[in-house]
Amino acid sequence: MGQFRHPNVLRLRGVVSAGPPAMIVTEFLLHGALDAFLRGREGTLSPLQLVAMLRGIAAGMRYLSEAGFVHRDLAARNILVDAHLVCKVSDFGLSRALDGGRDSDPTYTSSLGGKIPIRWTAPEAIAFRTFTSASDAWSYGIVMWEVLSFGERPYWDMSNQDVINAIEQDYYQCSSSHLSLTCQCFW
């Protein structure tokens, strides 16, 4: 985390290692977590402000990808908002450096069971525990949904297993008009 230098990635200020527990010191962001910030603000933030927030998050994630890291826990709860509504990617507890040479796609494969954030994790990462920048892009799509729904919980009250089953059956959280527009962009 100390090596990251980008306006949309949380800045490490220092580490306190004297006595347990060790603590990290980061910059302070006035509005805290993005999901909590958005709740109850529908109608007070313009579409332009929301898009600017999403652009900042995308820029931070692009920086991490180009630096050879996969976040693995991108969610609105792990994005912090400053006084000027600049969003910064944070919480690097699950982040890992990607493996891969010039002839392969950089990946990180988890050999340990460990919990993963199902609602934000790409289907292939759930199935094979293999994470790439593409799996972070899936998570970014879920973050987009969180922002545009003003902090609603993805997949509402579905259980994790129900979320997995729904994704495997091509369930979409958006309206058919939004889905149609998205498909036109890619096909």
**Positions marked active-site:** 73
Which two structure tokens, joined as six digits, stand for 66? 């180009």
Q: In the numeric block, which tokens belong to residue 95?
A: 């982040």
Contact yes or no for 38/50 (Cβ under 8 A): no
The DSSP-derived string for 68-79 is TEE-S---GGGE
Ramachandran sector of residue 8 (left: φ over 0; alpha: ψ -120 to 50; beta: rest): alpha
Q: In which element (H, E) is residue 131 found?
A: strand 130-131
Q: How far is CA 161 from the centre of its chain?
A: 21
- Indicate the Cα dihedral angle 111, 138, 146, 35, nearest 10°: 40
d(CA 123, CA 33): 25
